[in-house]
Amino acid sequence: MATIAFIGVGNMGGGMAVNLVKAGHRVLACDLLPANLERVVSEGCEQAESAAAAVGEADVVVTMLPAGKHVREVYENEVFLSAQLGTLMLDCSTIDVTTARGVVEAATEKGFVMVDAPVSGGVAAASAGTLTFMVGGTEEAFKAAEPYLSHMGKAVIHAGDAGAGQAAKICNNMLLAISMIGTCEAFNLAEKLGLDPQRFFEISSKASGQCWSMTSYCPVPGPVPTAPSNRNYEGGFATALMLKDLRLAMEAAQKVGAPTPLGAESESLYSVFNGLGGAGKDFSAIIKMLSGEWKG
């Protein structure tokens, strides 16, 4: 059993922390919001006095934070100053590639072992322990991190050196956004042409238009009972988070000179939807904006 300091136990981090407890580890939870702490403590985590205190006791540090600036600040001001030499550090936040590389490099220079390990799968997968982890770091660091990540996910993939996990995440989510918008447009067009949505799903899900956005996350209610479209687009992967990932992708594309016209158009559309009140809805709810049915 390891002692794990888990910093950031919100919607995603909370489920992940609880799964580490279920795997037999002692988890010291840290979060700025008391409600988040209360929830995970009720499921077996221990509330830490502070991030520094938790890190000082820990064999492993896991962070799940909103943005690169938060990751940098927590590691520079708390984690690096309190951790014991050789501590394993896993940053599961989705942040920019440059910051991820910089923090991992700083950790390595200070004698720690660290990976960037952003996730795919959403809140339900975080709770169920079925996330996919895209991991950046040395082979040694990946092997050290893999057992802990496996307690929180169904797939743990070594993407490459430091920052490669973040690169894989933003490229994947750019593709997801593009495919979701295409899927929404196809369902809207099918409906206006008189096709029943269920019948269109039955055809396209077995034809060349098949994609994850259709078969696992169908944006119209009915065909995929577990999709957020059946719950008024509540839960799942919030539009605000998709927009964050698209902005990271566009920032990275600009830095390396990669043309991403569909990625840019997706960012623009999700930015509009976010501004119209769709921020908290699942990203598949953009179908309502594209069809003109969004009420805000």
d(CA 163, CA 107): 13
Structure tokens given for 33? 């919001």
Q: Is 154 a catalytic residue?
A: no
Do the Cβ atoms of 10 and 64 come closer than 8 Å? yes
d(CA 52, CA 144): 22
The residue from 110, 154, 169, 255 that is catalytic is 169
* Environment class of 184 (CB within 10 Å of its CB; exposed 0-12, middle 13-18, buried 19+): buried
Written as one letter, the residue type at 10 is: G
Do the Cβ atoms of 64 and 92 come closer than 8 Å? yes
CA geometry: angle 131, 279, 35, nearest 5 deg: 65
CA-to-CA separations, 244 to 59, 123, 181, 210, 286, in angstroms, rounded: 31, 16, 16, 26, 15
Residue 99: name the closest of 66, 54, 133 by CA. Answer: 66
Do the Cβ atoms of 233 and 282 come closer than 8 Å? yes
Residue 266: name the closest of 253, 255, 280, 256 by CA. Answer: 253
Do the Cβ atoms of 86 and 114 come closer than 8 Å? no
Residue 39 three-state SS: helix
Full DSSP string of 197-243: HHHHHHHHTTSTT--HHHHTT-SSSSSSTTSGGGGTT-SSSBHHHHH
Do the Cβ atoms of 55 and 27 come closer than 8 Å? no
Give catalytic residues, as residue numbers.
Answer: 169
